[in-house]
């Protein structure tokens, strides 16, 4: 048993390393509580802070989505609860309220859920544990990266309650709608707060990114070469690089838009631009400039929102297929390929924006090519399952569904990459289907896989498998009911962001389908109650997990569950890659990264202690 080996090592190790820290004077209880649970510099606590915050915002984002869906299914009918909460037109939703809802749904989901839950929660929790480090390279920066989220929480949250409401020019915030204060009710203070919130999220991401890169490069345990890193770490590393290079552009663009709005610059407003009888103070700008700058960040951001999930899913799938990852190096190279190509495809968001159509053609070619590394990854995941011994745990089901759903999201991307087809389906529900398959059916399912998988390491207890599977089954059914139908809705040309499209001859017959989708969306959100109860119940009453409940290979499974401050109670030394499952001749079907090379070496190691 690996646990037996490591626990015998740990006693001596802990006694040696932990003793100097014990000499420190004991702080007062309140201060101790604050420094342990609130202003903690421990990467695990910070990771969990990110996890709880983002899950809470996930709930808010989901409820915003339900309100959007309500309006699409039954336009202008009284909205339950919301009508009473925001008294307007006797329970009816105002069209400007609708534009605010979908803007904030996307904003919350992208900037306060997906990006921080992947990099912030799992990046923080997993990176030091999986590379065998005692913490991040810069613990204080790490703490700040979490606390910089709070101004963002405040700005985005408060913007709902200012005059005119929260930002309502879409999460893409295209000028002049977003820069001209008179353009929309939400283009007032709400939009300014939105830009401030975005900047704070950017600061947080940048602090995290610097930290992750440094930690992964410098703090790997002895023997942990780059090509022995688990896919999760590779994905987090490349994501951090992406963040570091792309984010400054968005931050700069955000400040330019802020300046356009507040001090009268004219980066994005053309000469003499009048909106709703209000003149932009200066002209000479170009609305397309914002789109270029925005997508120069936000396209790589799409990969920031999926690559870590791809990495985590790869680790989970190998563990429950009891089989080495198929094509480790091609998997690493394809992540790098996606990241590299990710910088030269931003123009595919702008095929019909008025950008030079010749430029559209070059972006089309690079976009077609970025489908290739995604295809390679998919084939390698299938190769991993092939010949395995599959254990249908909840984490595995979510990981498998990631692959199954990512195939859909990947293939539907090809339609949009084809420029002539994009003319028709651009800004319709086809694209809404596409990115929900990538971000919800892909990333969110990957995140659930990761939660079920690493929950024992986070809290020392396992989640309930039966209710986990019930949660998976219902989510899986309802998500496809909600999102798959969007493809055919998009084929009709049904445009997104319309408060009521049924007055158009072309779309008037689509209400029943939309009602069906909304019922599925309600079911999907309701299914999360199972998850919430399971999550909190298991945290306190779940079965005790032990160090390695899944019999997995990674370094994190050699640490106690949950690991104490400093993570490892012994110095981990790495002998092999993370995917040595079902090795012929081994006495068990997994070989942990820390297991000494052979029995003779093991005996030697034991004798040394």
Partner 1 sequence: MGSRWTGIFWSFVFLAVPVLGVATFAVAPAFDIWLPKDVSSDGATIDSLFMFILILTGVVFVITEGLLFWFLWKYDAAKATGPATYVHGNHTLEVVWAVIPAGVLLFLAIYQMNTWANVKMRRPAMSPTLEVVGRQFEWRLRYPGRDGTLGTPDDLFLVNDLHVPVDEDILIQLKSMDVLHSFFLPNLRVKQDAVPGMKIPVWFKATQTGQFDIVCAELCGWGHYKMAGQITIESRKDFNAWLESMYAKQEATQPEPAAVALAE
Give residues 137-166 in contact with partner 1 (rule: CB under 8 A). none
- Residue span binding partner 1 (CB under 8 A) among the ranges 39-47, 231-239, 489-497, 555-563: 489-497
Q: Which residues contact 78 (CB under 8 A, 6 or more apart)?
A: 90, 91, 92
Contact 326, 387 (CB under 8 A): no
Residues 392-411 binding partner 1 (CB under 8 A) are 392, 397, 400-401, 403-404, 407-408, 411
Task: Report the nearest approach of partner 1 to the CB of residue 533 (Å).
Answer: 19
Binding mask of the shown chain, residues 217 to 256, with x at each position contacting partner 1 by CB under 8 A = ----------------------------------------
The residue from 74, 138, 147, 174 that contacts partner 1 (CB under 8 A) is 174
Q: Which residues contact 157 (CB under 8 A, 6 or more apart)?
A: none
The residue from 388, 442, 456, 542 that contacts partner 1 (CB under 8 A) is 388
User: Does 480 contact partner 1 by CB under 8 A?
Assistant: yes
The residue from 336, 427, 515, 596 that contacts partner 1 (CB under 8 A) is 427
Query: What HEC string does 494-560 produce?
Result: CECCCCCCCCCCCCHHHHHHHHHHHHHHHHHHHHHHHHHHHHHHHHHHCCECCCCCCCCCCHHHHCC
The residue from 104, 143, 184, 449 that contacts partner 1 (CB under 8 A) is 184
Query: What HEC string does 280-308 produce?
Result: CCCCCCCHHHHHHHHHHHHHHHHHHCCHH
Residues 299-358 binding partner 1 (CB under 8 A) are 321-330, 352-354, 357-358
Q: Which is nearer to partner 1, 322 or 565 (CB)?
A: 322
The residue from 336, 470, 488, 573 that contacts partner 1 (CB under 8 A) is 488
- Residue span binding partner 1 (CB under 8 A) among the ranges 118-126, 300-308, 461-469, 519-527: 461-469
For residue 324 the two structure tokens come to: 């080495």
Q: Which is nearer to partner 1, 129 or 309 (CB)?
A: 309
Quick one: which H or E segment has residue 209?
helix 189-218
Give CA angle at 58 (54, 59), nearest 5°: 125
The residue from 35, 74, 469, 470 that contacts partner 1 (CB under 8 A) is 469
Q: Which is nearer to partner 1, 140 or 391 (CB)?
A: 391
Residues 51-70 binding partner 1 (CB under 8 A) are none
Task: Report the nearest approach of partner 1 to the CB of residue 107 (Å).
Answer: 14
Dist. CA 241–CA 308, nearest whole Å: 12
Task: Report the nearest approach of partner 1 to the CB of residue 189 (Å).
Answer: 16
Secondary structure of residue 489 in the 3-state scheme: helix
The residue from 7, 92, 282, 286 that contacts partner 1 (CB under 8 A) is 286
The residue from 94, 141, 162, 241 that contacts partner 1 (CB under 8 A) is 94
- Residue span binding partner 1 (CB under 8 A) among the ranges 124-132, 147-155, 170-178, 303-311: 170-178
Residues 579-608 binding partner 1 (CB under 8 A) are 579, 581-584, 589
Q: Which residues contact 417 (CB under 8 A, 6 or more apart)?
A: 348, 364, 367, 368, 371
Dist. CA 315–CA 276, nearest whole Å: 54
Phi-psi group of 284: left, alpha or beta (phi > 0 → left; psi -120 to 50 → alpha; rest → beta):
left
Residues 546-565 binding partner 1 (CB under 8 A) are none
Q: Which is nearer to partner 1, 14 or 488 (CB)?
A: 488
Task: Report the nearest approach of partner 1 to the CB of residue 418 (Å).
Answer: 5
Dist. CA 12–CA 340, nearest whole Å: 46
Q: Which residue has the tokens 């390698």?
A: 380
DSSP state letters, 411-451: HHHHHHHSHHHHHHHTTBHHHHHHHHHHIIIIIIHHHHHHH
Task: Report the nearest approach of partner 1 to the CB of residue 238 (Å).
Answer: 19
Task: Count the residues of the shown chain that bind partner 1, applying the rule CB under 8 A.
Answer: 116
Question: Cα 113 from chain centroid?
Answer: 6
The residue from 113, 510, 545, 555 that contacts partner 1 (CB under 8 A) is 510
Dist. CA 314–CA 112, nearest whole Å: 25
Dist. CA 168–CA 156, nearest whole Å: 12
Residues 118-137 binding partner 1 (CB under 8 A) are none
């Amino acid at each position: 048993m690996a646990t037996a080996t490591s626990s015998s090592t740990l006693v001596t190790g802990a006694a040696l390393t932990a003793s100097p820290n014990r000499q420190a004077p004991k702080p007062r209880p309140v201060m101790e509580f604050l420094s342990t649970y609130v202003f903690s510099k421990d990467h695990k606590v910070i990771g969990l802070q990110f996890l709880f915050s983002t899950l809470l915002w996930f709930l808010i984002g989901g409820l915003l989505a339900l309100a959007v869906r309500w309006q699409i299914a039954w336009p202008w009918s009284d909205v339950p609860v919301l009508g009473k909460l925001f008294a307007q037109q006797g329970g009816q939703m105002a069209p400007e309220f609708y534009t605010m809802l979908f803007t904030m749904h996307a904003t919350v989901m992208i900037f306060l859920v997906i990006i921080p839950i992947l990099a912030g929660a799992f990046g923080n929790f997993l990176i030091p544990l999986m590379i065998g480090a005692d913490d991040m390279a810069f613990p204080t920066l790490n703490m700040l990266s979490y606390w910089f989220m709070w101004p963002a929480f405040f700005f985005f949250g408060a913007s709902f309650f200012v005059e005119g409401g929260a930002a309502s020019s879409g999460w893409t915030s295209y000028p002049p709608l977003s820069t001209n204060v008179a353009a929309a009710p939400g283009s007032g203070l709400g939009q300014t707060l939105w830009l401030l919130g975005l900047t704070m999220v950017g600061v947080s991401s940048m602090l995290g990114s610097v930290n992750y890169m440094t930690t992964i490069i410098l703090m790997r345990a002895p023997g942990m070469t780059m090509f022995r890193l688990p896919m999760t770490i590779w994905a987090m590393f490349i994501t951090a690089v992406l963040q570091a290079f792309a984010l400054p552009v968005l931050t700069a663009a955000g400040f330019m838009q802020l300046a356009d709005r507040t001090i009268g610059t004219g980066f994005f407003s053309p000469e003499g631009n009048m909106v709703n009888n209000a003149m932009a103070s200066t002209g000479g700008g170009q609305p397309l400039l914002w789109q270029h700058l925005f997508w120069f960040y936000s396209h790589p951001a799409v990969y920031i929102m999926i690559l870590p999930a791809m990495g985590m899913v790869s680790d989970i799938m190998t563990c429950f297929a009891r089989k080495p990852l198929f094509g480790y190096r091609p998997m690493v190279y394809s992540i790098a390929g996606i990241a590299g190509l990710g910088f030269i495809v931003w123009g595919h968001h702008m095929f019909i924006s008025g950008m030079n159509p010749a430029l559209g053609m070059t972006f089309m070619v690079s976009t077609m090519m970025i489908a290739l590394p995604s295809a390679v990854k998919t084939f390698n995941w299938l190769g991993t399952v092939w010949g395995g011994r599959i254990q249908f745990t909840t984490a595995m089901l979510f990981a498998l569904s990631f692959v199954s759903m990512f195939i859909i999201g990947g293939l539907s991307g090809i339609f949009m990459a084809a420029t002539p087809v994009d003319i028709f389906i651009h800004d319709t529900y086809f694209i809404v289907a596409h990115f929900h398959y990538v971000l919800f059916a892909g990333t969110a399912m990957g995140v659930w896989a990761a939660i079920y998988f690493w929950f024992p390491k986070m809290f020392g207890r396992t989640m309930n498998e039966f209710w986990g599977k019930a949660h998976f089954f219902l989510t899986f059914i309802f998500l496809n009911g909600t999102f798959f139908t969007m493809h055919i809705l998009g084929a009709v040309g049904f445009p997104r962001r319309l408060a009521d499209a049924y007055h158009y001859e072309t779309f008037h017959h689509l209400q029943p389908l939309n009602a069906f989708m909304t019922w599925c969306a309600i079911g999907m959100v309701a299914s999360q109650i199972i998850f919430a109860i399971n999550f909190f119940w298991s945290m306190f009453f779940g079965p005790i997990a032990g160090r390695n409940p899944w019999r997995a290979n990674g370094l994190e499974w050699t640490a106690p569950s949950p690991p104490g401050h400093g993570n490892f109670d012994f110095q981990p030394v790495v002998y092999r890659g993370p995917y040595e499952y079902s090795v012929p001749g081994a006495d068990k079907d997994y070989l942990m990264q820390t297991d000494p090379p052979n029995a003779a070496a093991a005996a030697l190691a034991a004798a040394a202690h």
